[in-house]
Amino acid sequence: MDRQKITSKVINLLVDRNNIERLVLGDVYVNGSYFRDHCHVKVTKRTKNLKVGDNISAYAEVYEYIDVDTNKLDKKGVRSFRSVKVISSD
């Protein structure tokens, strides 16, 4: 998959039921176009230093996944971050 440029703001940090840390990104833009109101992203070595309030720029894969409520392949998310940069912080 090709990585695309994303910009977003870290709005929360949580731990899921499997004890995996996740960032919640709000107002996600892909290549300058509005993508989603939020995305949950697994914390990795490239994203572990991000904190709530950081506005970020990065390259990531956009992928589709199955909605567990409808069993349809109609949800989209971002993963496999590269070149993560903090643009500004609150």
User: pLDDT tens digits, residue range 4-57?
Assistant: 999 999 999 999 899 999 999 999 999 999 999 999 999 999 999 999 999 999
C-alpha atoms less than 13 angstroms from C-alpha of 20 in its C-beta half-sphere: 8
Pairwise CA distance, residues 39 & 51, whole Å: 15
Q: How far is CA 39 from the centre of its chain?
A: 5
| pLDDT confidence of residue 14 | 95
| pLDDT confidence of residue 75 | 85
Checking if the pLDDT of 67 tops 90, the result is: no
Domains and CATH numbers, the chain: 3-89 (2.40.50.140)
| pLDDT confidence of residue 51 | 95
| pLDDT confidence of residue 1 | 67
